[in-house]
């Protein structure tokens, strides 16, 4: 009996220690944008945010968006830095966002997405936001 209990405890501890600390419910990025491109990027990010507002379930809805935050810095050494964080309650919510993007990027919102090439151009490599260190959502 002691061996069974010890094995069960070992499995619980091992699965806890080996579990991923990367939540699968958020996405984000950091952009480093030259000052002369800020107006274009502002407009593109606002249009992208409006697409999310118009097409995504929100809040307590099934697969709802918890929050979308796009912040930007003051000018620094000729650049503006943007931080984008998009959060869902469940991994299914994030997957739904990805499928809505696939659906709309070549259809109803193709013109919006055609103007977002700056996301690749100005994204700081490796800046994808996949870990939440601290969060308060009242």
6 in any annotated domain = no
Asked if the structure places residue 39 within a domain, the reply is yes
> What is the value of pTM for the model shown?
0.74
CB atoms within 10 A of CB 102: 10
Q: How open is the CA angle 109-114-119, to the nearest 5 degrees?
A: 115
Residue showing tokens 């000729």? 78
pLDDT tens per residue across span 103-114: 888 888 888 888
- Give the residue numbers spanning the domain of 78: 23-122
Give me the phi and psi of 68, to 5 degrees please. -130, 120
Whether 35 is in a domain gets the answer yes
Q: What is the pLDDT of residues 14-65, one digit of tens each?
A: 444 444 455 577 888 899 999 999 999 999 999 999 988 988 888 888 888 8
């Amino acid at each position: 009996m002691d061996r069974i209990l010890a094995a069960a405890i070992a499995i619980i501890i091992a699965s806890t220690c080996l579990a991923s600390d990367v939540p699968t419910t958020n996405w984000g990025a950091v952009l480093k944008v030259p000052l002369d491109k800020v107006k274009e990027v502002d407009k593109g990010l606002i249009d992208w945010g409006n697409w999310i507002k118009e097409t995504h379930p929100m809040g307590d809805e099934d697969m709802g968006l918890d929050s979308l935050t796009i912040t930007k810095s003051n000018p620094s050494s000729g650049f503006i830095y943007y931080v984008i964080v998009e959060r869902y309650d469940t991994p299914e919510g994030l997957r739904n966002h990805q499928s809505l993007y696939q659906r709309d990027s070549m259809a109803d919102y193709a013109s919006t997405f055609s103007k977002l090439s700056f996301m690749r151009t100005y994204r700081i490599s490796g800046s994808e936001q996949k870990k939440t260190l601290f969060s308060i959502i009242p």
